[in-house]
Chain A
Amino acid sequence: MAMFSQNPVLNGPNYSFAEVPKDAVDGLREHRFNPYTDNGGSTLAIAGADFAIMAGDTRLTSGYSINTRYAPKVFKIGGTTSSQDDANLLLSVVGYAADGEALQERLDAICKMYRYRHGKPMSVSACAKRLSTIMYQKRFFPYYVYAILGGLDEDGRGAVYSYDPVGSFEREQCRAGGAAASLIMPFLDNQVNFKNQYVPGTGVGHELKERERLPLPRNEVEVLVKDAFDSAVERHIEVGDGLQIMIITKDGIEEKVLPLKRD
């Protein structure tokens, strides 16, 4: 009988998924609808001396299925019109795609209003704080996304701000987010911030001098981004198909899409 009651039976065939149906009960019940999902994918941002680079793969998944091979994760924010030709900020979102899009649209609307009211585009630092507030407002029903905001600061230097789903944020030199963040982040530590790299012959043990941290030139950073994603694609099934790269400089935003493995 247990076989047909839809309750788990011990030592017998069973559902492989967690949500075993419940029998009817009286009175109030808890909502069991799960409003979240994970659409996979990964993002990456690096700040340079006079530029910031934001990248994300373009695969969108649910479970083991690929919904589409081209769904952008990096967006221009705060342009005057929907074409975003004069945008001065970049936002990348990864995690739950519907929340990501909702967040992106909200931040864009806010930056557009700011531009309209003040007659100038929002600065990265101001937008960074505002984004944190937006995310924290949904503290108890969060946007399930890892966001990264990029742009140029008041001195024209590249700026990257990274967020957790409830709005904690920090300005950083580089950050990886999403499904393959744990694969990419140590690589960035090593190759961008030269962590664990020492100058030979400068001492023994902790006396050794660290390799001097110099901002990398743009062409080198672009190669690092491509290498990081090629590695992530190799070892993570939710990453692949295409690599969307946006580079923000004083001359504006450049966008390109490179192919990644589609298997």
Chain B
Amino acid sequence: MDHRPQAWGRPRDDVYGAYDASYLQANGPNQHTQSPIVTGTSVVAMKFKDGVVMAADNLASYGSLARFTDVKRIRTFADTSIIGFGGDVSDMQYLDRHLTELGIDEAYQSEAGHTLNARNLHKYLSNLLYNRRSKFDPLWNHLLVAGLDEESRPFLAAADLLGTTFTSPSLATGFGGMLAQPIMRRYVPDEAAVAGVSRDQAVEVIRECMKVLFYRDARSLDSYSLAIVTKDGVELRENEKLEQQSWAFADRIKGYGTQTV
């Protein structure tokens, strides 16, 4: 949260870097992406007993403007993995085209169907991001990759624009790291706890997280995509609506929420 008025209505500088007005210039030398333009906010995901649930809302913001309200930020790969995109939307669309091509190439090359599992896909994408950052031309995204690994266990990992990678039983990008992660960690504090969480429970937790994010993240939307990946494939629902919202608390909030008078 940024309480300074001049920072309101803009993508957070400490997350996305400063806004670069010079991208507006019509001609001149090639410019690398110095800052994101149209952005998507949080992606949240958590593992359960036999798979992973992931969600991201359908909003693409232009600064504080809710510019595109029907942008799908979760895509499938080879019907076995899913990728959630946070950050710049045009870089997401570049990656989307790239992954489609990769999917086709892989499908042709291997006779027994796809060979890339979620771990392979995550390695591929993180190497791609790391290479681009090393060329000082980053792809301004924070990705979550989910699916099953080579031993058919649930797999969930993140990769960001700097090429930093990590895995955890639950993951969230952007605002979700502050608001959704604490909720998810109550259910899956460590890898051992994953076996005790059912699919329905996980979906319920993720929906709750999306609701909390909609309450408190000003760059979020109540329409979202929800994906569930298991050994039976991917179930992707792209037009979910937040249900049972309760704004009853809102008129009691003063200041930043802790103020009582």
Contact = CB atoms under 8 A, between A and B. Distances in A.
Instruction: Consider the complex of A and B and state whether they touch directly, i.e. have CB atoms less than 8 Å apart.
Output: yes
Interface of A: 3-4, 6, 13-17, 19-29, 31-37, 39, 60, 62-63, 65, 67-71, 96-98, 101-102, 141
Contacts of A24: 21-22, 24-25
A262 to B, nearest CB: 9
Given A13-B6, A68-B167, A70-B168, A19 B32 contact: no
Contacts of B158: 67
Given A4-B6, A15-B13, A22 B18 contact: yes
- Of A4, A29, A141, most buried by chain B (CB within 10 Å of CB) is A29
Given A71-B166, A97-B164, A98-B165, A21 B25 contact: no
Interface in B17-49: 17-22, 24-25, 28-29, 32-34
A28 B29 CA distance: 7
Given A67-B168, A68-B168, A22 B21 contact: yes
A26 B6 contact: no
Interface in B159-212: 162-168, 171, 177-178, 181, 190-191
Interface string B121-156: 000001000100110101000000000000000000
Contacts of A3: 5-6
B111 interface: no
Given A3-B6, A6-B6, A65-B177, A21 B21 contact: yes
Interface of B: 4-7, 13-14, 17-22, 24-25, 28-29, 32-34, 126, 130, 133-134, 136, 138, 158, 162-168, 171, 177-178, 181, 190-191
Contacts of B19: 6, 21
Contact of B164 (A25, A33, A34, A37): A37
B6 A70 contact: no
A15 B164 contact: no
A29 B17 contact: no
A69 B188 CA distance: 12
A3 B7 CA distance: 10
A39 B164 contact: yes
Chain A interface mostly: loop
Contacts, number: 102
Nearest to B191: A70
11 contacts: A3-B5, A13-B4, A14-B4, A15-B7, A16-B4, A22-B20, A24-B22, A37-B164, A70-B168, A96-B164, A98-B164
Contacts of A71: 166-167
Given A67-B158, A70-B191, A33 B17 contact: yes
Contacts of A62: 164
Given A13-B4, A14-B4, A19-B17, A69 B164 contact: no
- Of B7, B134, B162, most buried by chain A (CB within 10 Å of CB) is B162
B39 to A, nearest CB: 15
A60 B177 CA distance: 13
A80 B6 CA distance: 57
Contacts of A60: 166
A28 B28 CA distance: 8
Contacts of B126: 98
Nearest to A242: B190
Contacts of A26: 25, 28
Contacts of B136: 31, 33, 35
Instruction: Give the top 9 A-B pairs by smallest Cβ distance, nearest first.
Output: A98-B163, A21-B18, A68-B168, A68-B166, A24-B21, A19-B18, A24-B22, A98-B164, A67-B166
B32 A31 contact: yes
A4 B178 CA distance: 28
A96 B126 CA distance: 14
Given A4-B6, A13-B5, A69 B168 contact: yes
A29 B23 CA distance: 11
Contacts of A27: 28
B25 A101 contact: no
- Of B32, B166, B171, most buried by chain A (CB within 10 Å of CB) is B166
Contacts of B166: 60, 67-68, 71, 97
- Of A33, A60, A67, most buried by chain B (CB within 10 Å of CB) is A33
A13 B171 CA distance: 34
B224 to A, nearest CB: 22
Given A17-B14, A32-B20, 18 more contacts: A3-B6, A4-B6, A13-B4, A15-B13, A17-B13, A19-B18, A26-B25, A32-B18, A33-B34, A35-B134, A35-B162, A37-B162, A60-B166, A62-B164, A70-B190, A97-B166, A98-B133, A101-B165
